[in-house]
Amino acid sequence: MPEDKYREMRRNFSPADARSTGMTPDGGRMPDSRESGAVCMMGRLIPLIAFVASALLGLWPLAALAQDINPDRPDLTTSAELVPARALQLETGLEYERERSGGAPTRRQLTVQAVLRAGLATRLEVSLEGEPFVWQRAAADDRGSGDYTLALKYRLYAPPEASDTPSVALALGPFVKLPVARAPIGSERPDAGALLLASLGLPWGLGLDLNAGVAAIGQTRPDGFIPQGVASASLSWAATERLATIADFFFATKEERDGRASLRATLAVVYKLTPRLALDAGMRTTLAGPGPDWSAFVGLSARFGR
């Protein structure tokens, strides 16, 4: 066939012709379903991100009426500091992680994170932490809601405000995980446990948070629970009145019967846009045991009320 006639036929070739003949308009290459899946996922995620950003920006004037913020994110160690009574604190984030495991397909995950903390009394705080949306790709694509965790934080000790001694705060943090996520995003089993929380104020703008605790981790095949021990430490440094850096180490014993203990490290920065609004960003990696090779995250936190 003459080349000019072939080019003319290609220009006039429609998708309907391709379906009827078994040919494809782009020279025989079938569309990549993985690409279309990613486009579909992003199309659903963008409106959610826009809604969260718009809500936080709309609440910006209200945040100016609240007490100074000190988010529990982005490190994995929980501070002993409480949200003031009759105050609300919203901490949101977006995290992307990547994990390679033997000969299995590389796992990629994008997670929308949210924590709502409420001060019930001077010594008591309640929080609801969850993952409103999770997208995961490994052997197949999965998307949906992650699990939610209901927690309390009860202050055991806080130094008097006029004290000249280094500040030390102690709190107890019981929690229970609500298994709303389907596998493989969640375990489909409840967890429960408690942490002892300690926060120490140190010289030169340094702060140290320490956690130690135990948990009962739900299992399947066979059903039941296994004990887990947790220990973590987070060192922060207030470089300026607005900017702080964080180095965090988080250790946990195995969470599956045939699993292994893990150790993860986090490096992050927190920047206060105002005394009641804070941005954070950083990276995490797994130093030992199972877990993501690396992850990157950004977050925005706001305090309302007192």
Residues 40-52: tens digit of each pLDDT: 544 555 555 555 5
- What is the three-class DSSP state of 186? coil
The residue type found at 255 is E
Residue 78 DSSP code: P
Q: Are 41 and 143 in contact (CB under 8 A)?
A: yes
- What is the three-class DSSP state of 155? strand
Q: CB-based contacts of 181: which residues, under 8 Å, 6+ apart?
A: 131, 134, 144, 145, 146, 147, 188
Q: What is the pLDDT of residue 184?
A: 87
- What is the three-class DSSP state of 75? coil
Residue entry with tokens 């430490």: 233
Q: What is the mean pLDDT of the chain?
A: 83
pLDDT band, residue 112 (cuts 50/70/90): very high
Residue entry with tokens 């990696």: 285
Q: What is the pLDDT of residue 270?
A: 98
Instruction: Decide which of 103 and 66 is more confident.
Output: 103
Q: What is the pLDDT of residue 31?
A: 44
What DSSP element (H or E) covers 41?
helix 33-58
Q: What is the pLDDT of residue 180?
A: 92
Residue count of the chain: 306
Residue 260 has pLDDT above 80, yes or no: yes
Q: Are 219 and 225 in contact (CB under 8 A)?
A: yes
Q: What is the pLDDT of residue 17?
A: 45
Model confidence over 147-189: pLDDT tens digits? 999 999 999 998 877 665 668 999 999 999 999 999 889 889 9
The token duo for 142 is 């999965």
Report the candidate in 259, 199, 204 with the shortest Cα–Cα distance to residue 226: 259
- List of domains in the chain: 33-304 (2.40.160.40)
Alpha-carbon distance values, 159 to 91, 122, 233 (Å)? 26, 14, 21
Q: What is the pLDDT of residue 49?
A: 54
Q: Compute CA 110 distance to the chain's CA centroid, rounded to the nearest angstrom.
A: 9
What DSSP element (H or E) covers 272?
strand 262-274
Helices then strands, counting H and E runs in the chain, come out as 4, 13
Residue 7 has pLDDT above 60, yes or no: no
The token duo for 220 is 């399947």
Report the candidate in 50, 58, 52, 45 with the shortest Cα–Cα distance to residue 96: 45
Q: Please state whether the peptide bond connecting residue 74 to the residue before it is cis, i.e. omega within 30 degrees of 0.
A: yes
pLDDT band, residue 285 (cuts 50/70/90): very high
pTM: 0.77
